[in-house]
């Protein structure tokens, strides 16, 4: 007898809760869901596509119940403005799952911190110190080292006699550029040798980065249905192991850097943080958390966008050729491009903007949380609601973009459209208080990778694949990778001496 009573009680509690919420608030419409789990199992793995489909049915703002957690998704530029500008401060907290609470030491880092005095302090440090134009410029040689190193590696691979005419996987070359860039910018260390082999320290670093990814993958149903936590134990092993590895690793780096702190090496984030720790009153947990937040947020995002860009360029040879012609005209064929050339390469910059419109690396941004009751689109957003902005859908909205699915960088030449949070039609970095602090760095890295790839090589799809057949399938996850790494054939087009890495030159 006891068995049927339990589900019936749970069902009644759930229905009563839903009814209470419905009557108490004027919530955005929602797909009908199941008792207890709500819409948890209706959301398909490619969340941004699922949400875009639902917005056609329920409108540009709708509710999604993940278990008993109320989530609100917005899919239009006007509503994005209401979230990220008009109600920015009230919607700038973060939702933290239990593992995220553990690994962020209860939000004492940056990404998982709620909006408050701690966040404002760390944000100020990022804006004024870590990502200042001066520091970005001072760190430019690192970015140029790494991108030219990729070019040399591609040159070696593509000119190897047994590789002639064969395809290679571009990701194998883009991945190391962003990996090395991030470890060098942030920790002041390169963990890979010129053959792409990781040092022991590099392997430890990768293990930590992977452990963090595993934690976000292994979220249990109890995260969504709090009272199930009585039945499901929290996985403390994953987060604890991650924290232990991270702490040990970072402590060693901090010790090394503290001893070596001199004027010359102050530019890396770790050095900057150590020298500013007192001035900004940062705890050691915050310093460590901040460093690893940057690693997590900056590692994949740029390589992912560059891979999507090359896929679109291969599908659109006209655009590829036009971008190459511009680079040839401005840079010529007897020197290598640098970031200084960007201002004379407007079309290349528009290619970067167009790919960020169509393929933002985090299509639903990162989830925000309401710190108080607010109204969006005329609906109630109760305190603690998790709010998602589907920037992927907004970038493809036919109501605000002409031929939105067409990859046409010219649209950004015809109209000067900002992609760093000023124009709500294209929000690859978000907007407002929580906008990505690494936006300019990310744009520079992507534009530099593309510029070098186009300048140094001619490109074609894998043998037998027509441009329109290139596979644009997406991999589920918070960061939207191409599902299958892009195979390409690269043919050098500049004099051989221009393929030498700045690292070894």
Q: How far apart are CA 162 and CA 170, in angstroms?
A: 18
- Contact status, residue 274 vs residue 257, Cβ threshold 8 Å: yes
291 binds ligand HEM, rule: CB under 6 A: no
Restricting to residues 348-387, which ones interact with ligand HEM according to CB under 6 A? 360-362, 365-366
Q: How far apart are CA 460 and CA 23, in angstroms?
A: 58
**Residues 222-261, mask of contacts with ligand HEM (x by CB under 6 A):** ----------------------------------------
Closest CA to 63 of 26, 29, 19: 29
Number of residues in contact with ligand HEM under rule CB under 6 A: 25
175 binds ligand HEM, rule: CB under 6 A: no
Q: How far apart are CA 457 and CA 451, in angstroms?
A: 10
Q: How far apart are CA 455 and CA 240, in angstroms?
A: 46
Closest separation in Å from C-beta 123 to ligand HEM: 7
Q: Which is nearer to ligand HEM, 168 or 306 (CB)?
A: 306
Q: How far apart are CA 89 and CA 74, in angstroms?
A: 17
Which residue in 429, 457, 459, 499 binds ligand HEM (CB under 6 A)? 429
Angular region, 380: left φ>0, alpha ψ -120 to 50, beta rest:
beta
Query: Token pair for residue 328?
Result: 């040839």
74 binds ligand HEM, rule: CB under 6 A: no
- Contact status, residue 351 vs residue 323, Cβ threshold 8 Å: yes
Closest CA to 462 of 249, 169, 251, 44: 169
Strand runs (DSSP E) across 190-236, as ranges? none
Ligand-binding site membership of 436 (annotated)? yes
Exposure on the CB side of residue 343, measured as CA atoms within 13 A: 1
Region of 187-195, 377-385, 438-446, 457-465 interacting with ligand HEM (CB under 6 A): 438-446
136 binds ligand HEM, rule: CB under 6 A: no
Which residue in 171, 434, 455, 456 binds ligand HEM (CB under 6 A)? 434
Query: Token pair for residue 384?
Result: 């603690």
**Residues 93-132, mask of contacts with ligand HEM (x by CB under 6 A):** -----------------xx---------------------
Closest separation in Å from C-beta 442 to ligand HEM: 3
Which residue in 297, 311, 355, 419 binds ligand HEM (CB under 6 A)? 297
Which residue in 446, 449, 453, 486 binds ligand HEM (CB under 6 A)? 446
Q: Find tokens 């500049």 and name the residue.
A: 494
Which residue in 238, 298, 395, 487 binds ligand HEM (CB under 6 A)? 298
436 binds ligand HEM, rule: CB under 6 A: yes
267 binds ligand HEM, rule: CB under 6 A: no
Q: Which is nearer to ligand HEM, 297 or 470 (CB)?
A: 297
Q: How far apart are CA 261 and CA 487, in angstroms?
A: 43
428 binds ligand HEM, rule: CB under 6 A: yes
Q: Which is nearer to ligand HEM, 274 or 435 (CB)?
A: 435
Q: Which is nearer to ligand HEM, 102 or 362 (CB)?
A: 362
Q: How far apart are CA 393 and CA 411, in angstroms?
A: 18
438 binds ligand HEM, rule: CB under 6 A: yes
- Contact status, residue 79 vs residue 397, Cβ threshold 8 Å: no
Angular region, 403: left φ>0, alpha ψ -120 to 50, beta rest:
left
Region of 139-147, 168-176, 323-331, 431-439 interacting with ligand HEM (CB under 6 A): 431-439
Restricting to residues 305-324, which ones interact with ligand HEM according to CB under 6 A? 305
441 binds ligand HEM, rule: CB under 6 A: yes
- Contact status, residue 366 vs residue 387, Cβ threshold 8 Å: no
Closest separation in Å from C-beta 84 to ligand HEM: 7
DSSP 269: H
Q: Which residues contact 14 (CB under 8 A, 6 or more apart)?
A: 35, 36, 68
Q: Which is nearer to ligand HEM, 243 or 443 (CB)?
A: 443
Write out the residues near ligand HEM by the rule CB under 6 A: 110-111, 293-294, 297-298, 301-302, 305, 360-362, 365-366, 428-430, 434-438, 441-442, 446
């Amino acid at each position: 007898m006891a068995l049927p009573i339990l589900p019936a009680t749970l069902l009644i509690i759930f229905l009563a809760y839903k009814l209470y919420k419905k009557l108490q608030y004027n919530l955005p419409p929602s797909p009908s869901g199941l008792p207890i789990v709500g819409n948890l199992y209706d959301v398909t793995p490619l969340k941004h596509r699922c949400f875009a489909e639902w917005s056609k049915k329920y409108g540009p703002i709708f509710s999604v119940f993940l278990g008993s957690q109320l989530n609100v998704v917005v899919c239009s530029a006007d509503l994005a403005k209401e979230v990220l500008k008009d109600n920015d401060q009230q919607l700038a907290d973060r939702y933290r799952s239990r593992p995220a609470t553990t690994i962020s030491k209860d939000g004492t880092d940056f990404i998982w911190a709620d909006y408050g005095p701690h966040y404002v302090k760390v944000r100020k440090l990022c804006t004024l110190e870590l990502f200042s134009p001066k520091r970005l410029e001072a760190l430019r040689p690192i970015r140029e080292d790494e991108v030219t190193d990729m070019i040399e590696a591609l040159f070696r691979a593509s000119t190897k006699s047994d590789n002639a005419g064969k395809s290679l996987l571009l990701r194998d070359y883009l991945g190391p550029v962003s990996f090395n860039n991030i470890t060098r910018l942030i920790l002041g260390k390169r963990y890979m040798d010129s053959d792409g082999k990781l040092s022991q320290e590099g392997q430890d670093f990768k293990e930590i980065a992977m452990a963090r990814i595993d934690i976000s993958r292994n979220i249990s149903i109890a995260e969504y249905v709090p009272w199930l936590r009585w039945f499901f134990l929290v996985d403390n092993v994953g987060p604890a192991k991650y924290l232990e590895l991270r702490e040990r690793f970072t402590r060693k780096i901090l010790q090394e850097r503290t001893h070596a702190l001199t004027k010359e090496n102050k530019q890396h984030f770790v050095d900057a943080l150590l020298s500013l720790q007192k001035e900004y009153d940062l705890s050691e947990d915050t310093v460590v958390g901040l460093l690893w937040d940057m690693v997590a947020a900056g590692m994949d995002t740029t390589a992912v966008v560059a891979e999507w860009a090359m896929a679109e360029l291969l599908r659109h040879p006209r655009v590829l050729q036009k971008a190459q012609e511009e680079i040839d005209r401005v840079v010529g064929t007897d020197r290598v491009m640098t970031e200084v050339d960007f201002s004379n390469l407007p079309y290349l910059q528009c290619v970067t903007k167009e790919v960020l419109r169509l393929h933002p690396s985090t299509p639903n941004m990162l989830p925000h949380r309401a710190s108080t009751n607010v109204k969006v689109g005329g609906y109630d957003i109760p305190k603690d609601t998790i709010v998602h902005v589907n920037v992927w859908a907004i970038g493809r909205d036919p109501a605000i973009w002409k031929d939105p699915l067409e990859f046409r960088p010219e649209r950004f030449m015809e109209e000067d459209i900002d992609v760093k949070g000023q124009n709500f039609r294209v929000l690859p970095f978000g907007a407002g208080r929580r906008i990505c602090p690494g936006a300019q760095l990310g744009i520079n890295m992507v534009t530099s990778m593309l510029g070098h790839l186009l300048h140094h090589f001619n490109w074609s799809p894998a043998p037998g694949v027509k441009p329109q057949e290139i596979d644009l399938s997406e991999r589920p996850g918070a960061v939207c990778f191409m599902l299958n790494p892009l195979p390409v054939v690269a043919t050098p087009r500049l004099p051989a001496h221009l393929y030498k890495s700045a690292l070894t030159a």
